[in-house]
Amino acid sequence: MASKEPCSVVHWFRKGLRLHDNPALLACLKPIDGSASDELPILRPVYIIDPWLTKNIKCGHNRRRFFLQTLQDLDCSLRKLGSRLYVARGDPELVFGILFTKWNVKRITWEEDTEPYSKERDARISILAAERGIEFETRISHTLYNPESIVAHNLGSVPLTMQKLTSVVQSIGHPAKTVEAPNCLENFLPQSLDDAEYNLPTSEELDIDESQCGPCLYPGGENEALRRLDDKVCFEKAKWVREFEKPQTSPNSLEPSTTVLSPYLKYGCLSARTFYWRLIDVYSGAKHSKPPVSLMAQLYWREFFYTAGSQIKNFDKMKGNAICKQIPWDNNPTMLEAWANAKTGYPFIDAIMTQLRTEGWIHHLARHSVACFLTRGDLWQSWEKGKEVFEELLLDADWSLNAANWMWLSASSFFRQYFRVYSPIAFGKKTDPNGDYIRKYLPQLRKFPNEYIYEPWNAPFAVQKAAGCIVGTDYPKRIVEHSQVLKQNLGRMKRAYADNSKTENSNMESSPVPSKKQKSQD
């Protein structure tokens, strides 16, 4: 008589690629209701390489390397517990349609996601599990709070200012405490750790071209995330943590002037709640900076944009996005390509874009500078095009945060002072007057005197020749003249704002008069 196939429980990793503070993973490890005490299940931690994501999400070589390192780190941590990461390939609904039967699955758990595709996908898997009589549980842990709870505490409206978001989350109180990582799997059957069908992907499978990768300054994975947290947010550096004000950090320092924890938060290698409670510990009993500029505020900004992205239709687009101004951007592929490939002729902008393409990370004020330059400041190209380039090149490219920041910097939403424009010349000089950052990332300009390093076109030909770099030959000429296009673009923005105001007023006139309760929410 054939032996009975042991049952399995599945934790589905998507984001949340960690063991610490993973409540959905712990929910998977609970005893199965109604099972006999001697009927131990097999734990199956699963990651699915989804072809929809591969097709629809731009992901460059640096980020693919970071992702692979993260999977390798997670698999290593699971193997220390006597388990492993099972990596499947295919549409999740089809994959689980097979695995639920093949593995005799009794329970599946996952961490909730807020992005449109993810919510639709998870709804399908929930239905599939219910139809098969499989228990499923989900938990909120990629964000500090449930976005639905934030909206509910804001009387049913999405907070559209940082001030409002801060007020709402502070009225809710602290997020939940973190939960411990599992340290053993004594209530589970041993499993085969050499099933090649579900091995980790290789560099070749993920199409990672090492020649296109820069130096690995920020390795992927939970262990590196926790190491970096301990190094950057600790009592030994309490003064820096407490006094941190992000606008006062340098966009062009040769070493990062911030924590560079964003890639680890994006993939969930680091729990946002772990970061939050570490800050509470370091802040405790001492004076410290406050939102919107403090380190804690960086988590609040993340929460702000995640909440908006989870609730607003077409959040990553201009058309059909209720909070985004409709601006008639140009469509000039030549300008977009010059910007994306560090060939604008503005050394500060080109150095930033070179760092981005090489290392996969740039300071938030550097992001502001190049985003403003591409859109309302100089090139008048759509923020959606810039968003796609950042999505490809940033290690921390995050659907909600990327879209929100591009709307902000293009003055399409959240930020309305469109006349405040980052100078592609003067802004970088404030924190790096000698141009050391430019010399690092644009070595062809290394020998230019300080007075010309930000404006090489102003250098006499003899100076250019002595520096070994002729503008127009060895380094591009300016794609536009900032002082000229700025005036033109400010006029364009003024007209676009006026046209949007007319449309908004027309929509208000055709809408029902809001109730007193609705008015109080505005």
Let me know if residue 289 belongs to a domain. yes
Residue 376 lies in a domain: yes
Whole-number pLDDT of residue 385: 98
Percent of the chain scoring above 70 in pLDDT: 95
pLDDT of 509 higher than 90: no
Number of domains in the chain: 3
- State whether 231 and 290 are in the same domain: yes
Q: Are 228 and 265 in contact (CB under 8 A)?
A: no
Contact (CB, 8 A) for 128 and 10: no
Q: C-alpha 131: how far from its chain's center?
A: 34
> 149 and 292: one domain?
yes
Q: Both ends of the chain: CA-CA distance in Å? A: 70
How much is the average pLDDT of 9-21? 98
Concatenate the DSSP letters of all residues of 22-64 into one string: -HHHHHHTSPPTT--TT-PPEEEEEEEE-HHHHHHS---HHHH
Same domain, 76 and 111: yes
412-447 pLDDT per residue, tens: 999 999 999 999 999 999 999 999 999 999 999 999
**291 and 148 in a common domain:** yes
Q: Do 132 and 158 sit in the same domain of this protein? A: no
CATH number of the domain at 12, please: 3.40.50.620
User: Averaged over 191-211, what is the pLDDT?
Assistant: 94
DSSP character for 511? S
pLDDT at 36: 55
* Structure-block tokens of residue 252: 């062009």
CATH assignment of the domain containing 384 = 1.10.579.10
| Structural domain contains residue 462 | yes
For the chain, the 3-state helix, strand and coil shares in percent, each to the nearest 5, are 50, 5, 45
Q: Does 343 lie in the same domain as 226?
A: no
| Arithmetic mean of pLDDT, 256-283 | 98
Q: What is the pLDDT of residues 74-96, one digit of tens each?
A: 999 999 999 999 999 999 999 99
Domain boundary residue among 140, 155, 187? 140
Q: What is the CATH classification number for the domain harbouring 243?
A: 1.25.40.80
Query: Looking at the predicted structure, is the pLDDT value of residue 510 above 90?
Result: no
Q: Is residue 431 part of a domain?
A: yes
Q: Is residue 57 part of a domain?
A: yes
Domain hosting 396: range is 333-482
Judged against a pLDDT cut of 70, whether residue 519 lies above it is answered with no
Q: What is the number of other CB atoms lying within 10 angstroms of the CB of residue 155?
A: 11
Question: Are 149 and 260 found together in one domain?
Answer: yes
Segment 48-59, tens digit of pLDDT = 999 999 999 999
Please indicate, yes or no, whether residues 15 and 126 belong to a single structural domain of this protein.
yes
Which of 311, 345, 370 is the last residue before a domain boundary?
Answer: 311
SS3 82: coil
Q: Is 149 in the same domain as 106?
A: no
pLDDT of residue 513 exceeding 70? no
- Tell me if 467 is assigned to some domain: yes
- Please state, rounded to an integer, the average pLDDT across all residues of the chain: 94
Q: What is the pLDDT confidence band of residue 160, given thresholds at 50, 70 and 90?
A: very high
Q: Do 337 and 306 sit in the same domain of this protein?
A: no
Could you give the percent of the chain with pLDDT greater than 90?
Answer: 92
Residues 298 and 411 placed together within one structural domain of the fold = no
- Report the chain's C-alpha Rg in angstroms: 25
Confirm if 265 and 275 have CB atoms less than 8 A apart. Answer: yes
In a domain, 415, yes or no: yes
Give domain status of residue 354, yes or no: yes
The pTM score is: 0.94
Q: Are residues 157 and 290 in the same domain?
A: yes
Residue 247, helix vs strand vs coil: helix
Q: Which amino acid is at 57?
A: I
